[in-house]
Amino acid sequence: MKRKAKQYLEYSSWPAEDKALWKAAFAVGANLFDETGPGAHLAERTVQQLQYTYGKFLFFLSVEHAEVLERRRAEWIDAKIIQEFVEWQPVTCGAMTLSIYLFHLSLALKILYPCQDWSWLLDISRRFKARAKPRSERNHIITSERLYDLGLGLMDSALSSGKPVTGWRVQTAFRDGLVIALAAAIAPRRRTLAALRIGKQLKKIEHLWSLDIPAEDVKTKRPLDYPISPQLSRLIDIYVNEIRPFIAGAKTHDYLWASARGRPMGGGVIYNAVRRRTRKAFGFPVNLHRFRAAAGTFWSVQDPENVRGVKDLLGHADFATTEKYYIMSRSRLAGRVLGRIIADLRKGRVGQKPPA
C-alpha cells in the first residue's frame, strides 16, 4: 500500500519569519522574571496541535499560494483564503474535523498576531461545528460504574483462567482491566495515564497506593493527588508484584503500563487497547476521553448536591468547563429513563421500578 504523502510542513521547513514568530510566541521563561510569550501558558499537547494545524496551513500556501509566503501573514489572510484552505482538504474531512482545524488555526494566529482581530475565523469554525452531524457513538450512555465493573471483570477472568501469569493473554487482560478500572476511578487524561511511573506518580504508603501527579504531567498545569481505594490497591499489588515482572522488558523501566514489546505503553497504544476491550464488552468503543464524561455524568446522578466536586476530580480550573463538556444534560438522562419505562410496559413489567 502506497504511503500517503504528508499534507503539512514540519517546523524545520517553515519560512524563517514563521519560525521566529512561533519561537517568540511560545517562549517559556527560565524563571518568573524572564519574559514569556503569549502562548507560554498552553499545555505541550495543545501547542503541538496548534503547530500541526499551522503547518497544514503553510503547506497549503506553499502549494497553492507560494507567492504570499514572502508577505506578512496578517495582511492577506482573509475569508477567501480560508475558504480555499477548507476546499483544499480531502473529501474525507468532515465538518467537525474542519471546525477543529479552523479553531486551532484561529488560536495560533491570535497568538502569533495578537494585534489583529481573528474573531471572524472563530465564527467560521463555529458554523462548521454547528453543521457537523453527531457521531452515533455519542448516543451510547456510559457511566463510571459500568466501566469499573468491566475492568474488574477482565482482571478476574485473567486470574481465574487457570493459565500461568507468564502467558501474554493473562498479562494483557489483567493489565488492560487495571487500566480501565483505574481510569474509571480517577478519570485522568490519556497523557497523564501513560506517564504513570511506579514510585514517582504512583506511590505506596503502608497498604494503600495513591497518585501524586505533578503539574508538568497535567494539561492544566495543576498538580493532582488521588487516594486509591483498598480494592484497587490490592489489584495494583497483584499487577506490580505478580503480573508485570513477567512482561517482556518490564524490568528495564519503571512505567506502570508495560508493553509486551519491551517498552512502556504509549498513550496511543493504551487508547487502542481500551477501545478494543470496551467495543467487545458493550458493542461500541469507549475512548479514554469519554471516561471523563462518564465520571461527570455518574457523579451528577449519584450525588447532584455535590456535583461541583467533579471539577476537582477532572482537574478543571472552573466548573463551567465541567458542566458544559463533561456532564450529560438532565433532560437527556430523563429521556433515557422514560424510554426504559416504556420498554418495561411493552414487556408487561408494569409497576416495577425502572433500573437506575
- Domain 139-291 indexed as CATH 1.10.443.10: yes
- Cell 481465574 identifies what position? 160
pLDDT tens track for 59-70:
998 888 877 767
pLDDT tens track for 86-101:
999 988 888 889 999 9
* CA–CA dist 137, 158 (Å, integer): 28
* CA–CA dist 289, 189 (Å, integer): 7
Percent of the chain residues topping a pLDDT of 90: 39
Among candidate residues 175, 142, 276, the one with its CA nearest the CA of residue 268: 276
Of these ranges, 23-27, 37-41, 272-276, 295-299, the one predicted with the greatest mean pLDDT is: 272-276
* CA–CA dist 65, 299 (Å, integer): 51
Q: In what order do the strands lie in the sheet with 208-213?
A: 202-205, 208-213, 224-227
The arithmetic mean of pLDDT across residues 302-325, rounded, is: 44
pLDDT score at 140:
65
Q: How confident is the model at residue 173 (pLDDT cuts 50, 70, 90)?
A: very high
Domain boundaries, the chain: 11-133, 139-291
pLDDT score at 231:
92
Name every residue whose Cβ is closer than 8 Å to that of residue 65 and which is 6 or more positions away in sequence: 81
Q: How confident is the model at residue 206 (pLDDT cuts 50, 70, 90)?
A: confident
pLDDT score at 298:
53
pLDDT score at 145:
81
pLDDT score at 338:
38
The arithmetic mean of pLDDT across residues 336-349, rounded, is: 44
